[in-house]
Structures are given as structure tokens and as C-alpha cells.
Amino acid sequence: MKPLSEQEIRAAFVNCTKGQAKRLSIPRDLAERPWDDLDFLGWRDPQARERAYLVTELDGRPKALALRCPSPAPWQPRRGMCSVCLTTHTGGVSLMVAPKAGKAGQQGNSVGIYLCGDLSCSLYVRGRKDAGAGGRLPEAMTLDEKIHRTVTNVAAFVTNVIT
Ligand SMILES: [Zn+2]
């Protein structure tokens, strides 16, 4: 994706107030992020581990989401698969919940998704980050197809939050 500035990211939030978007933590090392290899940029809030954020492009425009990661319930399986990049991690997949944008969000509606806990899906797909033994299943797909699937999954989630 195209590199984004802190200001562009703050302006792209769709599911929190303008005040929250102004105050939330944006990574300081934006210039060093591997943008060419990112389908979305995701990060955990260093001040509040139960918060995470992601920004991606939808129809050529940046859209950012504020997410909450509720602590996993004890009965939840320890090994899970990310629903965006289909990487399996032991204890490393988090349920992330996004309040819906606009009125639906004010009424308490939200959308949940299982995501790599470090939000590094793009890097796992490209083999730039190691998911450990059995993390990536062999698939009869080219890298481009896997990237396309990741982009499609993220776009579907963001669309779900917006509409
Ligand atoms: Zn993932």
C-alpha cells in the first residue's frame, strides 16, 4: 500500500470520535514500515494492550479502524487461525472487535474478527515473518493469489464496519 503520514491515518478513522482519533497512539516509525509489503498496517496500542488499530486502502482511500481485543475466555482454543491471512498461531490469534461506524456503532453494534495478535498478516503471507512450525499450511496458490485473498478479507471486514 501507499505510505501514509500520521495525519492521514488520524483522518482516516471511521469508527471512533474525532477526539479519539486525535489522541490515539500512532506508530512513530511510520517512515520505516515496509509499506510495499503491507496490505494493511496494524498495531497494538502500547499504552493499552486491549486496543489495536488498522489502516488500509478501500477504493483507493485510506480507512482506519479502532479495535478492541477482549481477553480470551478460558474455554477458547489455544490454537487458532487468523481469518484474514489464514495463519495458525498457538495463542497468537486474537478476537478483535470493531464498533460499527456511525449510528449503528452508537447503538452498540460491532463486528468481530480473528486476527493475528500482532496484526502482521501481510508479512506472514509473504514469508517475511515466521509463524512457527505448522503456521502456514502449504497451499496450491501463488503468492499473488494469497495476497489478493488477504486484501479481499481485510476489505470485506472494513466494509462490514462501515456499512
Ligand atoms: Zn493474520
DSSP of 10-26? HHTB-SS-HHHHHHS--
Q: Rounded to the nearest whole angstrom, what is the distance from the C-alpha of residue 84 to the centroid of ligand 1? A: 5
Q: Note the residue count of the chain.
A: 163
Q: Rounded to the nearest whole angstrom, what is the distance from the C-alpha of residue 125 to the centroid of ligand 1? A: 8
Q: What is the CA radius of gyration of the chain?
A: 15
Answer whether 24's CB lies under 8 Å from 55's CB.
Answer: no
C-alpha cell at 157: 471486514
- pLDDT tens readout for residues 59-94: 999 999 999 998 766 666 667 899 999 999 887 899
Quote the pLDDT of residue 138: 86
Quote the pLDDT of residue 74: 65
Quote the pLDDT of residue 90: 80
Quote the pLDDT of residue 134: 85
Q: Rounded to the nearest whole angstrom, what is the distance from the C-alpha of residue 87 to the centroid of ligand 1? A: 6
Quote the pLDDT of residue 24: 96
Domain ranges of the chain: 6-162
Q: Which residues of the chain register pLDDT less than 50? A: none
Quote the pLDDT of residue 72: 65
Q: Rounded to the nearest whole angstrom, what is the distance from the C-alpha of residue 55 to the centroid of ligand 1? A: 14
